[in-house]
Structure 1
Amino acid sequence: MTNHHQPTRGEPRVALVTCTELADLDPDDRLVLGPLADRGVAAEPVVWDDPAADWTAYDLAVLRSPWDYMLRRDEFVSWAQRVPRLANPADVVRWNTDKRYLDELSAAGVPTVPTWWVAPGESWALPADTGEYVIKPAVSAGSQDTGRYDLADPEHRRLAVAHVRRLSDAGRVTMVQPYLTAVDTVGETALLFLAGPQGLAFSHAIRKGPMLSGPDFGVDGLYRPEEITARTATEEQLAVAEKTLAAVPGGAERLLYARVDLIPGPDGRPVLVELELTEPSLFLGHAAGAPERLAEAILTHLARHR
């Protein structure tokens, strides 16, 4: 629920953008409230589609957990364009909320997981091999509408076809990717970057355990539970992340935050699974000083906008 507390004169106001189901923010996001208050910044959660919200009253609106936009992406992108001071910016929101950006990054030389796209109404043939594949919509978050299919299993083949048809019938673009088995052992690495005086700077990294155990039968809530632990990023992972950020349209120096998600490919080298620039979990509770670094990043952006 929006807090209409009026800060003292001259005190910067920041809206932490969320959704109705997380009206008081995700617990991890609440960790930044204290560091912001210590720095003289009045921050409050605001639901993105609250008609009573006055976005002009804030010195900065920071996208945090508006995780209910997936079936209303056009509305969400239109809303972002109307917010006067939004981080990350509205053009980034438009680009990053459709995972077809992976094709652009691949064309720029970023190692990415191979991806095939199925537009609504297009016919789709199952891959000829019998490996494992991931099927999900191009506009998604929290692993919603996402499934893992072993095409050696006739029932999985049937369910994979039904999954694509279900997304197509709903007017959604489907993405199909080979399942990278290293996620079951090594896990997925998320590298977190936050704004600093010289642009984005690496903050911390975490490991995500495997989340997909089989076909999609729905998610109870906004996202699947995740197994998160701290991780030390390797030089090779950092190099892939830097190459990815260098390919962001408009330049990464405009960003308040970025999350680069990597998994080892078949040869063991890291490949990009997702680049999260719109509303990623930042896993502030898994790295010492991360809430304070986010607060400093917000101060950096406030200085640009005030």
Structure 2
Amino acid sequence: MTREAILVACAKMPESNGDEHAVLPALRDLGFAPRWASWDDKTVDFGAAEVVILRATWDYPDRREEFLDWCESVPALCNPAAVARWNTDKTYLSELIDAGVPTVATTLVEPGDDFRWPDKDFVVKPSVGAGSVGVARFTADATGAAAGHLAKLHAEGRTALIQPYQSSVDTEGEIALVFFGGIYSHAFAKGAMLGRSTMDASGMYVSEKLAVAKPSAAFRALAEDALDAAASLLGLLRAELLYARVDVVGGEGGKPLLLELELTEPSLGFRQADEDAPLRFASAVRQQLA
């Protein structure tokens, strides 16, 4: 029996950025009929598909409530709508901090809030955003420029996050650890982008320099802890998450810190993974149907 599987992207990138090239054949091998569709395409019957997989819905930040309403209308959505609602606003980081997950210090700033700028290089980013759009790095003495960027985000109706910049990113990058069905699959490194970044031609995300990575035991342990904490907060089993990407950086003394936990639409680094990663992903999709 052939089962319809829809991989969901957006109108500006209807088949993502090519990272999932090997995923569709892997799904076909397990009896799926996969195809791409934009989440806001009114001609597509998402409710008729056996599985609908969020992949490159990178235009949602400007239409988040519309996007979340659509998510809630799709019964076979992976990851589920409740996960998308929680994870598409980076204020979830405060919940993970409260749960004891070692995380890069994060200050949430609404318009009119009192706060202090960090005394070292720092990053200002929108709490709702994708593809590093709207993220900017500033030196400790550039608070004037940072205030201007913050004001722009607030004028757009966005909450902002301020985080101290982790200098290890300049030498080691971020390490993204990828899980399928709650099980670790592979990892890749993302090089430093801020300050010398360029947008992809689509305008949907900041281009990144990616490479294969072998995370240390400490990084893997933190990723596992972060995933456990998120599953607990969401009232889910880890196996109920088709995919997860845990972005980890080295803090002072090399201590690993969570930077972000991506459960909605992250690139999963298939091009940096071993050739069996798409097969593991396809198997995890089958698992979701159980």
> Normalising by structure 1, what TM-score?
0.89
> How does 1:180-199 map onto structure 2 within 5 Å?
180-195=166-181
Match of 1:135 among 124, 133, 139: 124
| Map of 1:99 onto structure 2 | 90
Q: Note if 1:178 corresponds to 2:164.
A: yes
Which residue pairs with 1:257 in the alignment?
A: 243
Q: Is the 8 A contact 1:29 1:64 kept in 2?
A: no
Structure 1 counterpart of 2:140, which letter? L
Q: Report if the CA contact (8 A) 1:25-1:65 is conserved.
A: yes
Deviation track 1:103-139 (CA, whole Å, cap 9, x = no partner) reads 11111110000011111x324555262x211001000
Q: Which moved more, 1:246-255 or 1:131-140?
A: 246-255
CA contact (8 A) 2:190 2:208 kept: yes
The amino acid across from 2:172 in the alignment is V
Q: Is the 8 A contact 1:14 1:44 kept in 2?
A: yes
The residue number in structure 1 matching 2:210 is 228
- Alignment match, 2:112: 122
Aligned-residue identity in percent: 42
Q: 1:292 aligns with which of 257, 279, 286?
A: 279
> Could you tell me how far apart the structure 2 residues matched to 1:26 and 1:56 are?
25
Structure of larger gyration radius: 1
Q: Deviations over 1:199-227 (max 9, x none)?
A: x110001111100017x998761111111
Q: Which residue of 2 aligns with 1:20?
A: 11
CA 1:219–1:148: 2 relative to 1, 3 Å: farther
Matches within 5 A, 1:68-87: 68-87=59-78
Matched, 1:269 2:260: no
Q: Distance in 2 between matches of 1:189 and 1:217?
A: 20
Kindly state the Cα deviation for residue 174 of structure 1 after the two structures are TM-superposed.
0.5
2:225 match: secondary structure: helix
- Per-residue CA distance 1:205-252 (angstroms, 9 max, x = gap): 1111100017x9987611111111101121111110111111112232
In the alignment, which residue of structure 2 is the partner of 1:6? none
CA distance in 1, matches of 2:47, 2:167: 47
In 1: Cα distance, 2:149 partner to 2:87 partner: 23
User: Take 1:267 and 1:101, find their aligned partners in 2: how far apart are those partners?
Assistant: 26
Contiguous gaps of at least 5 residues in structure 1 = 1-9
Please report how far the alpha carbon of residue 151 of structure 1 lies from its aligned counterpart in structure 2 after TM superposition.
2.3
Q: Which amino acid aligns with 2:166?
A: L
Structure 2 unmatched runs, 5+: none
CA contact (8 A) 1:126 1:161 kept: no
- Distance in structure 2 (CA, Å) of the matches to 1:50 and 1:262: 35
Do the aligned residues in 1 keep the contact of 2:199 with 2:207 (CA within 8 Å)?
Answer: no
In the TM superposition, what whole-angstrom CA distance separates every residue of 1:239-286 from its partner, at most 9, and x where no partner exists? 101111111122322100000000001121110000000001001111
1:247 equivalent in structure 2: 229
Aligned length: 284
- Whether the 8 Å CA contact 1:144–1:219 is kept in 2: the answer is no
Aligned to 1:7: none
Local SS of the residue matching 2:266: coil
Query: Match of 1:166?
Result: 152
CA–CA distance in 1 between the matches of 2:278 and 2:154? 40
Distance (whole Å) between structure 1 residues aligned to residue 154 and residue 169 of structure 2: 28
CA 213–187 in structure 1, closer or farther in 2 if over 3 Å, else same: same
Provide the secondary structure at the position in 2 that maps to 1:36: helix
Partner residue of 1:201 out of 183, 192, 208? 183
In 2: Cα distance, 1:212 partner to 1:219 partner: 14
Cα distance per residue 1:131-169 (max 9 Å; x no partner): 2110010001111011000122xxx32210011101111
Distance (whole Å) between structure 2 residues aligned to residue 43 and residue 109 of structure 1 = 39
- CA 1:97–1:70 in structure 2 vs 1: closer, same or farther (change >3 Å)? same
For the residues of structure 1 that align with 2:45 and 2:187, how far apart are their CA atoms? 35
Alignment TM-score, normalising by the size of structure 2? 0.94
| Alpha-carbon distance in 2 for matches of 1:169, 1:217 | 24
Give the whole-Å Cα distance in 2 for the aligned partners of 1:114 and 1:128.
Answer: 10
Structure 2 residue corresponding to 1:89, chosen from 80, 89, 93: 80
Partner amino acid, structure 2, of 1:223: Y
